[in-house]
Amino acid sequence: MNIGIIGLGLIGGSLGLSLQKNGHNVTGFDKNRNHTEKAHEFGLISDFTDKLDDLTDNCDVIIICTPVEHIDHLVNLTLSKTSSDQIIIDCGSTKKDICSNIDSHEFRDRFVAGHPIAGTEFSGPSAALPDLFSGKKMIFCDIEKSNERAKTIALQLFSSLGMQLLYMTSEEHDKHLAYVSHLSHVSSFALSLTALEIEKNDEQILNLSGSGFASTVRLAKSNPDTWTSIFLSNKRNLLIAVEEYQNQLQRIKDALIESSDESLKELITDAGKIRKILK
């Protein structure tokens, strides 16, 4: 199958590697010429093009892996140029705005809204990994709005990568991801900013940091452009999540002010119940 990938960073590059391994021909496109050249040099794609029209002219499937802010424009643009036997899949980290903006398109049924729950804190073609998606989850949203051919091909492609397929509405997706993904990044960014601020007056703070700090702040190394667009796209849900996070921080702060070992122990014990979910 001829597959086109728009956006050749971590997700797009890793998809290129995995899909080629499964016997597909992959043509890449990225507005950043350096990304395109590196992706080809690293073997992430079989070929590349400087023209989006080459993908709609020659590819059976086009997968969009750009930052969220560009996705609905690219989906609209490519859908308008597709034939009935072509499909478009996106891999955006938010879904509600994208799906809402595509719903009125005359060829909406050729589009499949997806989100692979996979990634690292690194970005660009050099961050691509051949097994990034193996054993990870792939969420398909509003799948009933895609035609049977589009659904079948999308499900086959991502299940062939060893992914577990999940289904939900785009609204449910953004609500849940605000807590389990986006808030994690907010927390990591905030912790990093806190440590860097304190470090101005105490150079030993970061020198003494251990594995706990490193693992918690790891996400703060993520791409700023990517996460700015994700946060703004899911602002409504993320604000609710941040407010609840602030509530929990306030509970811990109050317990500290009161020197209440009982309250602190209760909060820590309650927090530990997460191990029943994350086994």
Does 223 score more than 70 pLDDT?
yes
Q: Confidence band (pLDDT; 50, 70, 90) for 196?
A: confident
Q: What are phi and psi of 106, to 5 degrees?
A: -65, -25
User: 173-276: what CATH class?
Assistant: mainly alpha
Which tokens is 70 given? Answer: 């560009």
CA distance 225 to 230: 9
Note the helical H segments in the chain: 10-21, 33-41, 52-58, 68-79, 96-102, 148-159, 170-177, 183-199, 204-207, 211-217, 224-233, 235-257, 261-272
Would you kindly state where each structural domain of the chain is located, as residue ranges?
2-168, 173-276
- Mean pLDDT for the chain? 93
Q: Confidence band (pLDDT; 50, 70, 90) for 122?
A: confident
- What pLDDT, in 10s, does the model give residues 15-31? 999 999 999 999 999 99
Task: Name the CA radius of gyration of the chain, rounded.
Answer: 21
Q: How many CA atoms lie within 13 A of 253 on its CB side?
A: 6
CA distance 116 to 84: 25
User: Given this model, what pLDDT does residue 202 score?
Assistant: 65
Other CB atoms within 10 Å distance of the CB of residue 17: 21
Beta bridge partners of residue 211, listed in sequence order = none
Which tokens is 9 given? Answer: 């960073």
| CATH 3.40.50.720 given to domain 2-168 | yes
pTM of the model: 0.89
Looking at this protein, which amino acid is placed at residue 23? G
CA distance 165 to 170: 15
- What pLDDT, in 10s, does the model give residues 136-162? 999 999 999 999 999 999 999 999 999
CA distance 93 to 42: 25
Other CB atoms within 10 Å distance of the CB of residue 247: 9
- What pLDDT, in 10s, does the model give residues 174-188? 999 999 999 999 999
